[in-house]
Copies of this chain bind each other. A is one copy, B any other.
Amino acid sequence: MASDYSATPITMDNINPKVLKCEYAVRGEIVSIAQTLQQNLKDNPGSHPFDEILYCNIGNPQSLAQQPVTFFREVLALCDHPSILDKSETQGLFSADAIERAFQILEQIPGRATGAYSHSQGIKGLRDTIASGMEARDGFPADPNDLFLTDGASPAVHMMMQLLIRSENDGILCPIPQYPLYSASIALHGGTLVPYYLDEQTGWGLEISELEHQLKTAKSKGIDVRALVVINPGNPTGQVLGEANQREIVEFCKKEGLVLLADEVYQENVYVPDKKFHSFKKISRSMGYGETDISLVSFQSVSKGFYGECGKRGGYMEVTGFSPAVREQIYKLASVNLCSNISGQILASLIMSPPKVGDESYESFSAEKEAILSSLARRAKTLEEALNSLEGVTCNRAEGAMYLFPCINLPDKAIKAAEEAKTAPDTFYAKHLLNATGIVVVPGSGFRQVPGTWHFRCTILPQEEKIPAIVSRLTEFHKKFMNEFRG
């Protein structure tokens, strides 16, 4: 029986409607059902036709048994409890370069105070390290004063939306399909998402003609389009942009006076030999565009890559091409929340300055990295092939990131059944999949898609030894589903 809250003041009718409008499917209804099923399995083993829930809904590698990178965790532990650094037992427990790195990092923190609020943009010494790492990656200078360290990339995205969006007349160009952080943040800040469609036929191609068309359409409706979001490598789509395409995108932003918001959190997740990650900063600078020519924000996170340290909530944005006065406003936004967590800050510096040849940890670190990335590449390929072998399913390859986003050609009868169940056809499919197999995916409608097409997002993260079972369960389910709903 529901309790009676009629004596309390806050109701669904009087909360902020922007909150109501916001959606975040990655942790939505399907996940709630999965959590209930998981509890069922715990309370009543054998109560379902599967013995575990496989969370393929979210890019959360360590929840699926990926182990943390040893060197990173050694340094974090030592920075958390620096008083053991001088003890002899410590040398037996930790690698020499981790101990040395912890000492270096403590030197960079004013007063060695890992428990103090830092500078609102993050500890200066750590930003220096990150900037050096970016310079080594790009071959162009990076300024530590351009870096804002944040608790994961999400708060950085919110900060930029807060800065740019004044009203619903302000628009942000976003890819469709998109990572729902963008639609959620735009909704919360009261702006308008201006969609541009990635072309599924050409491997989720990003066509400038489509950008131009959508910009023109938005302008004709009185929308002031302020920024272009590009996710590269793509989420949920997994494509890696080509260099020539990136140059066109930079040119488009320059010409149209748009801020380029580059989500580059999957920069270390590229699985195919014919593609390579290039930061938009590198592309812009190589085109001759400098600090005052183009406004560019790049987002990075410790949650992705081969390290997958989602729980540490480390990340940052590099902000270039904004006047000092506007930069002051971004600094003010950062300072209202004081600073991001110091462990996350330290980890953000570590991913941009991993062990080098000659360091004690170098070989074990490189082996861990290579094992994770090569396994992810194999899993991506196996799952892609399995999906493409299903009736009515087509799936572009995951060139990068952590996801596959197959298109399902659903039978009319399934679409009608979904309508009757008052749910989207892809949600209908995902629920059936979950109930039959324990596999959790996110319906494509959570990411938006070309109207009338249906997809789901599935991570490539389950442990490699479980992939064959997943493939057979998925295949079996899909056959049954299609047989049940075929015309």
Interface residues of A (CB under 8 A from B): 2-5, 7-12, 14-20, 22-24, 26-27, 58, 60-63, 65, 68, 70, 73-74, 76-78, 80-81, 83-84, 87, 89-90, 92-94, 110-111, 113-118, 120, 151-152, 154-155, 158, 162-166, 181, 184-185, 188-189, 226, 257-259, 291-295, 303, 308-313, 321-326, 329, 332-333, 335-344
What are 28 A-B residue pairs whose CB atoms fall within 8 Å in the complex? A4-B292, A5-B322, A10-B226, A11-B326, A12-B325, A12-B326, A16-B162, A16-B165, A16-B166, A22-B332, A22-B333, A24-B336, A27-B120, A61-B115, A61-B116, A62-B114, A62-B115, A65-B111, A73-B80, A87-B92, A89-B90, A115-B310, A152-B337, A154-B336, A155-B337, A162-B188, A312-B341, A341-B343
Q: Closest approach, in angstroms, between the C-beta of A309 and any C-beta of chain B?
A: 5
Contacts of A87 in B (CB 8 A): 92-93
Contacts of A80 in B (CB 8 A): 73, 76-77, 80, 343
- Contacts A80-B76, A185-B336; A117 near B63 (Cβ below 8 A): yes
Q: Closest approach, in angstroms, between the C-beta of A223 and any C-beta of chain B?
A: 14
Interface pair B12/A310, CB less than 8 Å apart:
no
Residue of B nearest to A110 (CB): B63
Interface pair B81/A89, CB less than 8 Å apart:
no
Contact of A115 among B11, B155, B309, B323 (CB under 8 A): B309
- Contacts A8-B293, A9-B226; A313 near B340 (Cβ below 8 A): yes
Q: Closest approach, in angstroms, between the C-beta of A350 and any C-beta of chain B?
A: 12
Contacts of A2 in B (CB 8 A): 324
Contacts of A7 in B (CB 8 A): 292-293
Contacts of A323 in B (CB 8 A): 3, 5, 8, 10-12
Contact of A113 among B62, B78, B113, B184 (CB under 8 A): B62
Q: Closest approach, in angstroms, between the C-beta of A353 and any C-beta of chain B?
A: 18
Residue of B nearest to A253 (CB): B9
Contacts of A12 in B (CB 8 A): 323, 325-326, 329
Contacts of A76 in B (CB 8 A): 80-81
Complex Cα gap A152–B341 (Å): 9
Contact of A84 among B93, B185, B312 (CB under 8 A): B93
Interface pair A73/B65, CB less than 8 Å apart:
no
Contacts of A155 in B (CB 8 A): 337
Complex Cα gap A214–B337 (Å): 28
Complex Cα gap A258–B8 (Å): 8
Complex Cα gap A37–B125 (Å): 19
Contact of A184 among B15, B259, B336 (CB under 8 A): B336
Contacts of A18 in B (CB 8 A): 162
Residue of B nearest to A87 (CB): B93
Complex Cα gap A23–B328 (Å): 12
Contacts of A308 in B (CB 8 A): 115
Complex Cα gap A62–B339 (Å): 14
20 additional A-B residue pairs with CB within 8 Å, beyond A84-B94, A185-B336: A5-B323, A9-B259, A10-B322, A11-B326, A16-B166, A22-B336, A27-B338, A61-B115, A62-B111, A62-B114, A63-B111, A73-B80, A76-B81, A80-B343, A114-B311, A115-B309, A152-B338, A155-B337, A188-B333, A310-B338
- Contacts A8-B322, A76-B80, A321-B8; A329 near B19 (Cβ below 8 A): yes
Residue of B nearest to A155 (CB): B337
Complex Cα gap A117–B397 (Å): 26
Interface pair A24/B335, CB less than 8 Å apart:
yes
Interface pair A332/B19, CB less than 8 Å apart:
yes
Contact of A164 among B8, B10, B181, B324 (CB under 8 A): B10
Complex Cα gap A341–B5 (Å): 32
Residue of B nearest to A82 (CB): B73
Contacts of A189 in B (CB 8 A): 16
Contacts of A70 in B (CB 8 A): 83
Interface pair A162/B27, CB less than 8 Å apart:
no
Interface centre among A4, A14, A78, A110 (most CB of B within 10 A): A14
Residue of B nearest to A289 (CB): B7
Q: Closest approach, in angstroms, between the C-beta of A291 and any C-beta of chain B?
A: 7
Interface centre among A4, A9, A73, A258 (most CB of B within 10 A): A9
Contacts of A110 in B (CB 8 A): 63
Interface pair A151/B293, CB less than 8 Å apart:
no
Contact of A154 among B62, B73, B185, B338 (CB under 8 A): B338
Interface centre among A73, A81, A83 (most CB of B within 10 A): A81
